[in-house]
Every structure is written in structure tokens, then in C-alpha cells.
Structure 1
Amino acid sequence: MQIPVYLDYAATTPVDPSVAEAMCACLTQNGIFGNPASRSHIYGWKAEEAVEIARGQVADLLNADPREIVWTSGATEANNLAIKGVATANKANGTHLITSLTEHKAVLDTFKYLEGEGFTVTYLKPDAAGRICAKAIEMAITPETSLVSIMAVNNEVGVINDIAAIGAVCRRKGVYFHVDAAQAVGKVAVDTAELPVDLLSMSAHKFYGPKGVGALFIKRQSHVPIAAQIHGGGHERGMRSGTLPTHQLVGIGLAAKMASDLLVGESARILALRNRFLQHLESLTGWQLNGSLEHRVAGNANISIAGVDGETLLLALRELAVSTGSACTSLSVEPSYVLKALGLTDELAHSSIRFSFGRYTTEEEVDFAAKTVAEVVLKLRKDPPLWQANKAKV
């Protein structure tokens, strides 16, 4: 069986070989395997040193102070800690929260939980380009608002929000601002020293680090009241208890250093690959790019193709590892809520595919992918009624 070409880097990235090697050196008896919290012997000291080096490397990637980095199991936990932690710690000052309809489920489900706990949530709709504007945030803020949470880069369509402008509004209004930056860190420059952001979530596996580890940035000068969500031991200055996984933290640290070193050159190369892919598709009719092209992360190309069923198209593209624009539920396949929020019809949302390119993508793979997509679409469109019925919708 031929291994499909991997074009799903937005879902996860392979661990860089150098990162994997460094992690392996922290697993066995001859390596740095100790508990970082063991302060009475050299095994613990070495582990603690490795953990703090990693904390510094992540801080450097964000232009942050190492003391502003709190380790988590990933962006999902970081989102939960930020949103629940700030909302509950500040409940006496206000129970109104603001987010957007196009956030990741890790954010949306957290807000739904808080609604059940007595909070009121405003869900903002993006503009046609997929962005949340600062003006909409400003209009939604009330005297009862305690937290705004808006993602930096959308995970489905790759659209970049104006975090600086949104943060400026929140700061002016005296409201805490959280950013889910899982799809941004390692792909675009994130300068927390300059950005008016109070909390920011990230995950290692989005930038060639291991799964199961991430971090929450908490700006020291913001003095954010935050309630811990995991208790037991008081690790991470009481904000996140649990024995620290030295090997994973060494992994995220080195991955962060590599991302910082490679950011400019890698972003330019990946952007060229994405544009090359889109140019190859110009000969194919009846398709559209979803979301802003101008304000977009380099490696994302989310496209809708009229005249074909999305699931059928995905099955037909078995030589490519890509993502569909539909989310599977227990009873049915629903169109992507992100694409629906952008105004797409159910048909176009169902026929959307996310192609995402990364560090190991080659020009040959891009050319092959574009050629394969064109051939498969033309074959599926041999049913004239289906194509003609959908042709006018693009």
C-alpha cells in the first residue's frame, strides 16, 4: 500500500528528529530521568535544570519572561486553565464573557461549561473573510465583562485575527484578554512583550514537538487572578499540579528553539509551496478559497469545490492525507461550524478540504497533490446533474 502524501500539518506535525533524540536522552537510567521536584539529589537537580532550560527556550520564542510560562499537557488544558481560571477567580467582578463562533472546540466547549455555571457568553460572528474585528469586541463589552478569548489563527481556514487591535480594546476597557495561539506559535511571530495579551495558549505538537505538552503564558505585569484547575502538590507555582514530564518539556523547549531559528525562512518556503498549490488549481473551475488570503498563515489552503460531495472527495483522495470540512458526530456528519459561520452553504461546507503544508513538504508533493485533486474532481463531476445544480453556488 502506498503511503499517502502528508498534507495535514495543521492537525499535527511529526516530531523533529533532533527533538526526538533529545527526548530519548531523558527516559532511561543513563539519562536525565529524575523527578524535577526531587530537590535532595543530583537526579532531580539535573531534571529541574533541563526543565528550566526548556522554559527559557519557550519564553524566548514568545519574547516572554520564563516566569510567565506555566507548563500544561497542551493547548486544550491551557485554554481550560485560562478561561475557567480567570472566569471563576473574577466571578465577583462580572459574569459576562466574550468569544467567537469560530473558536476551536477546546474553547467553545469550555465556554459552554461556564454557561452551565451561571456565566453569560457572547459569541461573535466573523466577517466574510473569517476575521473577528476589534470594533465588534468593543461593542460587545459590558461593565460585567471579565474575559475575552479570541484565537490568533483559525485552525480550519488559517485566518489571522488582529490580536494587537483586539488586545488594545480589552486593555482600554479593563478586560482580561486570552488568546488561543495553538495554530500561531512557531508559524508566525508572537511577541508577548509587545502584544496587549494577558494569557496565551500553545501546544508543542503544532511546531514539531511532542504531543501531550504545551504551555500557558500569563503576563506578569497584568497580575491576572487565576484559579487552578488541577490540584495536588502545588507545582508550577500552584497553578498546575502534577509531576513534570522532563522528556516532553525538553522536547517542547528544543522544538521552540528550532521554530525561532527557522521561522522566517521556513515561513517563506511554506508560503511559496501553498501559492504553488493554488496556482496549479487555477485550471480547475468551480472552487473557492475559504477565508482571507491576505490575512492568512502561510501553510493553510482551505478550499471548497462545487459539484462534488466532500466525504466522497476525501475518500477519493486516498493518496493524500488531508482534512475534510465536516465534523463527525455520533449520529451524522455535520458541515463545519467554522465554514457555516463564514456564510458557506451546507453543500459547499461539506465539499471543503483543508490542505496544510509544513517543514517536510516538497515541491514534488505539492505538484502531485494539485494534479491528483484536479483529476479526482473532474472524475467525480462526470455526473452532470450534480455539477450543474451546484455550479451557480460558487
Structure 2
Amino acid sequence: MHTYLDNAATTPMAQQVIAVMAEQMQQDFGNPSSTHWFGRTAHTVMDQSRQTLAQSIGAKPTELQFTSGATEANNTAILQTAHSRQALGRHIITTAIEHPSVLKPMAQLEQEGFTVTYLPVDETGQISLADFDAALDDETILVSVMMGNNEMGSHLPIAAIGTRLAAHQAWFHTDATQAYGLLPIDVDALGVDLLSVSAHKLNGPKGVGFLYRRADHNFPPLMRGGEQEMKRRAGTENVVSIAGFAEAVRLISDQEKADRQAKYLGFKHQIMAGLRAADVAFEVNGTVQADALNHVFNLWFPGVSTYALQTNLDLAGFAVSGGSACTAGSLEPSHVLTAMYGAASPRIAESIRVSFGSTTTALEITQFTTVLTKIVTRLRKK
């Protein structure tokens, strides 16, 4: 019996999503760019899905561009904004704890001569708005700040930044991959111009996402070829996965988002209570706050190797992570923990990330806490 507690990496597809995708594969297999009945039928499915997804963030359907996921959306937003607006300035602001699909395009832009300011974070994984205000200048053309962190769950002040940029030339991009499906999102209320998401974080399929781009914000396509996606992204659209993505979003009402947040916060307290009852020494990386992304829980067990703990939990039937799945195969330490606690902190090599999902139960958390307690105690005795 295996228990999955790595939902920040990916989530299992909902049965309703699988059913919708199976129907699409069997019936609506046409190319949505074709003008015959099969193509028109597929195009209608795509249009309906785009409408559903646009409504979920308070956007117009024409402002959504389907992508292969958030990585492509982030790369498109960052690189194409920088290249198309560099006559206005060559300064960009981001944070030290962004996903690699943001940080690596930033590194490329630095090599091209752009100046990038990486805002530091405190030990809660939060940026300072004073630091942001100090960094913003007349040369700033792009700000990219994630909505919620994938390793800590810290919820960054997107609306406050949006207010600050309302009268500024800089375009505002947010990677909302972890927050989408958990937090209510309205692009106008938040003041964002660009927003990236991926379907597989909310019980949808892998390999599909979208980039929201405000209607009057134009730049050349990153993907060159045909004229799909209103000439903004070449390549035949993945209609089956797009339909599954829309179905996954239909399953999550605003009330369901709030209910999940409350349930996940309860799981955090349940684990902490169990560890304290067993007198197991631990600390929370970041904080436990109701307004965080509560599906992510990062714990430090002093003196216990991340690798050893993760491996032993896996052998016991519990899937957790040592950090971002996108860097799990790397020997590099977590850049998020490093930014929060410093490169010399023992937390970097002694922490695990537990992340909950819609199918996680209180019984599973009880069983996990019992096993976690035993493994940590045993590893400390060695």
C-alpha cells in the first residue's frame, strides 16, 4: 500500500477528467485548424474550454494562450516581454525563490546584458515590499513574482505589487502554478498583466497549461510555425488535454478551494501534534499560516539526512519530496531553503516537503505521522 504525499510535484488525474479525455480521444479527434466538420467540432471543444479557463481568472477568452505547461508559459512571458520592450529599459525584478523555469530565463537575459534584481526573502519565505520599492526604477520593464512558492507554500503579496505597478511602465507577470486551484484569482483585482498555470497541479493532465496575457500586451511568439492560438503560439493544439484541463477547473468551485485550504491546514496541525506527542524534535521551514498555500508543508528534522529520510519513507510506502521535483535529480541544494536560511544552514540537507492533495485523508496523515516518527527516531539513533 502506497500513500502519495507529493502533490506539489504533480497530482493524480480526477476520474471525471479521465472520462472527458477518453471521450475526446474517441470522438473529437479532428485538427482544430481544419475547416471540415471534424475540425470545427474540435475547435468548438477548444473554444468552450478556453471560456471556462478564462472565467476562472476573470479574463477574456482571447487573452488565454494554450501552452505545453507553465514552463513554456513562463519562458514565453519573460523572454518575449524582455526582448520586445528593451527599448524602454533593460531592468527586471524577480525573487530569489522562483521556479527554475523563471530563474533560468532570467539568467539567459543577464547574459544578454539585462539587469535582474533578485529580491531576497526572510525565514518565512516572504519578500519585503520595501525591498521591492527600492528596486523599482524608470528602467524596469518587467516584474515576475510567483503567487505561491512550490517548496514552502509562502503566499507572496501579488495584489500589493500590482497596485504599485498600476501607473508604472513595467509589465507584471506571476507564476500562479501552485496557487491556481487553491486561491481565488482575478487578474484585474490583482493587477497582473501575465499569468502562468499548469493543469497537472490540480488533478488535470500533464503537458498542458496556459499563459494569460492582457489584451493590449503584445509580443512576438516564442514558438514559430503555423498560425494557431491567434498567431501567438505555433503548433497543433492538444485538444484532448485542453478539454481535460477545463474539466479539472470545473470541478473546483471557490468554496471547494476554501475547503481544501482548511483541510490541508488541519493536516499540518495533525502532523505537528503527532510529532510533539512522540517528542520528536523538528521545526517548520517557513510558517504555518491560514493564508499560505496549505498543501505544501516543509519540515526540518535536525540530524536526519533528507536522502535517508525520504528513502526510508518511500520504502515504508509514503511518497514525499526533498524539494522541487524539477531539481530532484540534481545534487544542488534547494535554492529556496538557501535563500531563506543561508548556504551554511543544516536545514538544506535535513528537510522534507510533504504536500497534500484532494484525495488525501486524515487516516493517511495519521498513518504517515506514526511511520515518520518511527523512522526519524531510528535514524537519529544510528
Question: What TM-score results when the alignment is normalised by the length of structure 2?
Answer: 0.94
1:38 aligns with 2:34: yes
1:125 positional shift: 0.6
Counterparts of 2:196 and 2:108, CA distance in 1: 19
The residue identity in structure 2 corresponding to 1:359 is: S
Q: 1:325 to 1:70 in 2, by over 3 A?
A: closer
SS at 2:110 equivalent = helix
Give the whole-Å Cα distance in 1 for the aligned partners of 2:200 and 2:328.
23
1:27 and 1:191 map into 2 onto residues whose CA distance is: 32
Q: Which amino acid aligns with 1:302?
A: N
Is the 1:156–1:302 Cα contact (8 Å) retained in structure 2? yes
After superposing the two structures, state which structure 1 stretch, 150-159 or 342-351, moved more.
Answer: 342-351
Instruction: Indicate the residue corresponding to 1:378 in structure 2.
Output: 377
Distance 2:112 2:259 in 1: 46
Match of 1:297 in 2: 293
Give 3-state SS (helix, strand or coil) of 2:188's partner: coil
> Alignment partner for residue 193 of structure 1, among 188, 211, 229?
188
1:306 aligns with 2:305: no
Letter in 1 for 2:312: A
Please provide the CA RMSD for this pair.
1.6
**Structure 1 residue 232 displacement after superposition:** 0.9
Contact 1:133 1:166 in 2 (8 A): no
Superposed displacement of residue 181, structure 1: 0.4
Tell me, yes or no, if structure 1 residue 266 matches structure 2 residue 252. no
2:73 matched to which residue of 1?
Answer: 78
Q: How does 1:213-292 map to 2 (within 5 A)?
A: 213-220=208-215, 223-260=216-253, 262-283=256-277, 284-292=279-287
Partner in structure 1 of residue 148 of structure 2: 153
User: What amino acid does structure 2 have at the position aligned with 1:368?
Assistant: Q
Which residue, 46, 55, 62 being the options, matches 1:60?
Answer: 55
| CA shift digits 1:164-207 (9 cap, x unpaired) | 00111122333111000000000111111311101000000000
Q: Given residue 171 of structure 1, which amino acid in structure 2 is its aligned partner?
A: A
Tell me if structure 2 keeps the 8 A contact 1:322–1:356: yes
The one-character-per-residue Cα deviations of 1:258-285 (angstroms, maximum 9, x if unpaired) are 1236323333223322322222222334
In the alignment, which residue of structure 2 is the partner of 1:390? Answer: none
Provide the C-alpha distance between the structure 2 equivalents of 1:334 and 1:315, rounded to a whole number of angstroms: 18
Counterpart of 1:194 in 2: which secondary structure? helix
CA deviation vs aligned residue, 1:225-267 (integer Å, no higher than 9, x gap):
3221001112112211111111011011111111236323333
SS in 1 for 2:127: coil
Q: CA separation in 1, counterparts of 2:240 and 2:15?
A: 14
Instruction: Work out the percentage of aligned pairs sharing the same amino acid.
Output: 38
Q: Deviations over 1:57-115 (max 9, x none)?
A: 11121122111111000000000110011111101111111111100000000111111
Contact residue 322 and residue 328 of structure 2 kept, 8 A: no
Aligned twin of 1:349: 348
Q: What's the offset of the Cα at 1:329?
A: 6.2
Unaligned runs of at least 5 residues, structure 2 = none
In the alignment, is the contact (CA less than 8 A) between 1:13 and 1:207 conserved in 2? Answer: yes
Q: CA shift at 1:325, angstroms?
A: 3.8
Structure 2 partner of 1:364: 363
Please say if residues 270 and 359 of structure 1, whose CA atoms lie closer than 8 Å, have aligned partners that are also in contact: no
User: Counterparts of 2:220 and 2:89 in 1: how far apart (Å)?
Assistant: 15
- More displaced, 264-273 or 368-377? 264-273
Greater shift, 305-314 or 278-287, is seen at: 278-287
Task: Determine if contact 1:90/1:225 at 8 Å carries over to the other structure.
Answer: no
Aligned to 1:95: 90
Letter in 2 for 1:237: M
Q: Give 1:202's match in structure 2, choosing from 197, 201, 209.
A: 197
Matched, 1:50 2:45: yes
Report deviation, 1:328: 5.2
2:320 paired residue number: 322
Match of 1:391 in 2: none
Q: Corresponding residue for 1:389?
A: none
Q: 1:48 and 1:110 mapped to 2: Cα distance?
A: 32
Tell me what 1:14 maps to. 12
Q: Which amino acid aligns with 1:195?
A: L
CA distance in 1, matches of 2:178, 2:335: 18
Q: Contact 2:280 / 2:373 at 8 angstroms: preserved in 1? A: no
The size of the alignment, in residue pairs, is 374
Q: Which amino acid aligns with 1:276?
A: Q
